[in-house]
Amino acid sequence: MFHPRAAFCLVALTLAACKPDGDTDPEDSGPSDEDTADTAPPEDPPSDFAAGTYRVTAMEILDSDQGFDLTGDGVVDNKLPAVLMALDMAVEDDMSREGMNATIAASIAAGDLVNLVDARYLGLLLSYDLLVGSQDEKGALHMDEAQSYDAHGQPFSRLEGAFLDQTAVTLGPDDVQIPVTFFPDEPALMIPVAGAIAEGTLAVEGTACTLGGAIPVDGLMAQVVEPLIPEEGYGDRTKEEWLETIEALLSNENVAQIELPDGGRGIAAALSFSAEPAAW
């Protein structure tokens, strides 16, 4: 897929390459057109947005026909609903896309799943941080620094991008981690997404995006599947048997369609979310 950010960079590079050298008249003591172009102020930003903090109020795992074309074949890539069907066989709770979306909605409403967004726009560069939070008994929000930032103070999940107009944004590709609740009343698990891209809107009043990318098979197994399956197994199969079966299924190239830079395989996925202004 030819991403809008790539188009923006291509236009800039093309203009730079086509810029005429031009000779300066020695009798002209004023600045040349070239000098004037080099010292002219930059074009005004397409948006007057500066900064905002938000709390995610709705999040949905999208159906298989929704998301992005990640492989460049003109077809939307989203295998996550099929993967959830496989996980549904290994646990007692409803792990289907519909069941997961119902669990996510209930957890957000109850304050058990608190996803935060910190967006800043400076020098034509937009940073869009996905953070983990919590809500106390009085309803106040708190940001979980340990799950949101590394030892150097950098966010684990930062999407960088640009405004296309006053509110439309394009983000990524960047590697992120998405907190998702799989079981009611249990802590969220972090789903790794490699090469995540997002498109949507951002304004002081709120933000909404569709996000897509590749979930690495090894990361999904270690961070999600293994913690989800009970130690005693499920049905007539042990945990080890379930892990072997699911890993073999997820590693199939018809499921893990994306080849990652590290040589691993990734599962195409997509979700949408919206967030309202909030402080913490």
Report pLDDT digits (tens) over 76-115: 999 999 999 888 888 888 989 999 999 999 999 999 999 9
- End-to-end CA gap in the chain: 37
Tell me what the pLDDT averaged over the chain comes to: 87
Closest CA to 158 of 187, 216, 198: 198
pLDDT at position 6 over 50: no
- Asked if 198 and 273 touch (Cβ cutoff 8 Å), the reply is no
Q: For residues 212 and 61, what is the distance between their CA atoms, to the nearest angstrom? A: 10
Return the structure tokens found at 249: 């299924």
Residue 92 is predicted with a pLDDT of 82
Residue 88 is predicted with a pLDDT of 87
Residue 187 is predicted with a pLDDT of 82
| pLDDT average, residue stretch 240-268 | 94
Residue 35 is predicted with a pLDDT of 47
| pLDDT average, residue stretch 110-136 | 96
pLDDT at position 2 over 80: no
| pLDDT average, residue stretch 144-172 | 97
- Asked if 251 and 219 touch (Cβ cutoff 8 Å), the reply is no
Q: Which of 19-23, 75-79, 180-184 has the largest mean confidence? A: 75-79
Residue 184 is predicted with a pLDDT of 74
Residue 87 is predicted with a pLDDT of 84
Please state which of the ranges 44-48, 89-93, 155-159 shows the lowest mean pLDDT: 89-93
Of 5 and 66, more confident: 66
Beta bridge partners of 171: 161, 198
pLDDT at position 26 over 70: no
Residue 89 is predicted with a pLDDT of 84
- Beta strand 141-143 with 189-203 is unpaired
| pLDDT average, residue stretch 152-165 | 97
Residue 43 is predicted with a pLDDT of 67
Per-residue pLDDT of 188-204, as tens digits, reads 899 999 999 999 999 99
pLDDT at position 3 over 60: no
CA distances from 32 to 18, 29, 212 (A): 17, 9, 47
pLDDT at position 262 over 60: yes
- Asked if 150 and 177 touch (Cβ cutoff 8 Å), the reply is no
- Percentage of the chain beyond pLDDT 90 is 75
pLDDT at position 44 over 90: no
